Amino acid sequence: MIYGYYPGCSLEGASRPYDRSLRFVMTALGHELKELRDWNCCGATMYMSVKETVALSLSARNLALAERNGNTLVTPCSACYTMLLKTQRCMKELPGLRRQVDEALAEAGLSYRLGVQVRHPLDVIVNDIGVEAVARKAKRRLEGLRIAPYYGCQIVRPGPAFDDPDWPTSMDDLFGALGAECVYYPDRVRCCGGMLMTTDPKVGEELTQNVLDCAIRNGAQVVATTCPLCQMNLETLQARAHAREGAIPVVFFTQLLGLALGASGTEMDLHHSLVPLGARLEELAGAPS
């Protein structure tokens, strides 16, 4: 089917590989992503704490646009995802706020009637398309690859979400079905340091390091993320001068999925990784072309 698609700013910047791999995966699975025309900033999580109504109105505009065509809006960036959901919720549950947002939208000749379903691609792939269906379409098994699925804090929190807030398993199921081994490591839902990188790097880096150490200690070869910010934090830290030993590549879950569905490492931008891919992933990715 056709899904409305809201990439969000990071997927046009540092996280372009996420955008490219996601589009490939959806096509390979026989579905279409229809990018929302004239979308704008999601209202970003921290803007909320500055000016709530403005932030809400910003993201409500996207929902209003989406409502015109189709009722689902898929968005890969965890921040956008939470933000859009939050807007949805505020408008549903806080009539006061809603009135203000409605006014703002009206200014732009728009209106929003809460008709849009905000979905994360992981949710769509696991729950709409289904793990078995993906496995059937796979051109390549990920045998011998030890993946650390990293869910981060936003896509299943605070819940109720498409997966257990404290015990998400969708990525494990997905890669498991594709032959990979998903290592369990406690930090899979812990904070990646998030925006602290910019405000209090010392604390931020410690948090990031915790996640990496935990994944490595539990024998992972690669970290699979669902969030641009997580990906950036986890990868760049290792690229820094004072990075610790035993670096581990950090990629978007769609990049690995793409490999399984027959894409080349180059198509999946795997060679852009700042960290060496490691033997098995190299092998799967093939030589750069």
Partner 1 sequence: MKANGDGRRIGFYICHCGSNIAATVDVAAVANHVAGLSGVAVSRHYAFMCSQPGQDMIARDIREERLDRVVVAACSPMMHELTFRNACQGAGLNRYLFQMANVREQCAWVHADRPAATEKAKSLARAAVARVAHQRPLEAATIPVNPDTLVIGGGIAGIQAALDLAEAGREVWLVERESTIGGNMARFDKTFPTLDCASCILTPKMVSVGHRKNVHILTQSQVEQVSGFAGSFEARVRKKARYVSDQCTACQECEKVCPVEVPNAFDLLLKKRKAIHKAFPQAVPNTYLIDKQERPPCREACPIGQEAAGYVALIGQGRFAEAAELIRMRNPLPVVCGRVCYHPCEAECNRGFVDEPVAIQHLKRFALDWQEKHSGGIPAPPPPTERRPEKVAIVGSGPAGLACAHDLATRGYRPTVFERDVVLGGMLALGIPRYRLPRERLLQDIDFIRRMGVEFRTGVEVGRDVTIGQLRKEGYKAFFVAAGAHVGVPLDVPGERLAGVMQGVEFLRRHALGIPPAVGRNVAVVGGGNTAVDAARTVLREGAEHVTILYRRTRAEMPAVEHEIADAEAEGVRFAYLRAPLEVLGEDGRVSGLRCVEMELGEPDASGRRRPVPVPGSEHTLSFDTVLVAIGQSPDLSLLGGEGLKLDRRGTLEANGETFATSVPGVFGGGDVVFGPATVIAAMGAGKRAAEAIDKYLRGEPLTDFHTHAVPTQIRRGESFRPHPYAPPYTQTPKRPRQAMPKLPAPDRAQGWEEVELGFTEEQAVAEAQRCLHCGVCVDCYQCVKACQPGAVDHAMKDEVLDLKVGQVLVTTGYDLFDPRRMAQYGYGRLDNVVTSLEFERMLASTGPTGGRLALKNGEEPRAVAIVHCVGSRDENYHRYCSRVCCMYALKFAHLVHDRTRAAVYEFYIDMRAYGKGYEEFYGRVLAEGVNVIRGKVAEVFAAPDAPPGEGHLIVRAEDTLLGKQREIPVDMVILCCALEPAQGIEALRRTLHLSQSPDGFLLERHPKLDPTGTASDGIFVAGCAQGPKDIPDTVAQASAAASRMLGLIARGEIAVDPIKARVEPELCGGCRICNNVCPYNAIRWLEDEKVAEVLDAVCKGCGTCVAACPAGAITGLGFSDEQIYAEIDGLLGTPEAASRVPTTLEARP
Minimum separation from the CB atom of position 220 to partner 1 (A): 11
Contact segment (CB under 8 A) with partner 1 among 85-93, 97-105, 141-149, 213-221 equals 213-221
User: In this complex, which beta carbon is closest to partner 1, that of residue 211 or of residue 257?
Assistant: 211
Q: Does 200 bind partner 1 (CB under 8 A)?
A: no
Of residues 217, 240, 244, 272, which one binds partner 1 by CB under 8 A?
Answer: 217
Minimum separation from the CB atom of position 159 to partner 1 (A): 8
DSSP 181: E
Buried b (16+ CB within 10 A) or exposed e, 185-220: bebbbbbbbbebbeeeeeebbebbbbbbebbbeeeb
User: In this complex, which beta carbon is closest to partner 1, that of residue 53 or of residue 218?
Assistant: 218
Sign of CA dihedral 170, 19, 80, 99: negative
Asked if residues 4 and 69 have their Cβ atoms less than 8 Å apart, the reply is yes
Minimum separation from the CB atom of position 218 to partner 1 (A): 5
Residue 266 to residue 281: CA distance in whole angstroms: 12
Q: Does 89 bind partner 1 (CB under 8 A)?
A: no
- What is the separation of C-alpha 134 from the centre of its chain, rounded to a whole number of angstroms? 18
Of residues 30, 201, 219, 286, which one binds partner 1 by CB under 8 A?
Answer: 219
Minimum separation from the CB atom of position 217 to partner 1 (A): 6
Q: Does 185 bind partner 1 (CB under 8 A)?
A: yes
Contact segment (CB under 8 A) with partner 1 among 30-38, 45-53, 214-222, 265-273 equals 214-222
3-class secondary-structure state, position 33: strand
User: In this complex, which beta carbon is closest to partner 1, that of residue 96 or of residue 109?
Assistant: 96
Q: Which residues contact 137 (CB under 8 A, 6 or more apart)?
A: 28, 29, 30, 261
3-class secondary-structure state, position 208: helix
Of residues 13, 186, 276, 288, which one binds partner 1 by CB under 8 A?
Answer: 186
Buried b (16+ CB within 10 A) or exposed e, 55-81: bbbbbbbbbbbbbeebebbbbbbbbbb
Q: Does 167 bind partner 1 (CB under 8 A)?
A: yes
The residue count for binding partner 1 (CB under 8 A) is 9
Asked if residues 249 and 268 have their Cβ atoms less than 8 Å apart, the reply is no
Contact segment (CB under 8 A) with partner 1 among 91-99, 135-143, 212-220, 226-234 equals 212-220
Contact segment (CB under 8 A) with partner 1 among 5-13, 18-26, 159-167, 262-270 equals 159-167
Contact segment (CB under 8 A) with partner 1 among 60-68, 112-120, 125-133, 178-186 equals 178-186
Residue 273 to residue 205: CA distance in whole angstroms: 19
Of residues 51, 139, 184, 262, which one binds partner 1 by CB under 8 A?
Answer: 184
Of all helices (H) and strands (E), which one includes residue 93?
A: helix 78-93
Q: Does 218 bind partner 1 (CB under 8 A)?
A: yes
Nearest to 167 by CA among 194, 188, 191: 188
Minimum separation from the CB atom of position 210 to partner 1 (A): 9
Asked if residues 197 and 205 have their Cβ atoms less than 8 Å apart, the reply is yes
By CB under 8 A, name the binding residues for partner 1: 164, 166-167, 184-186, 217-219
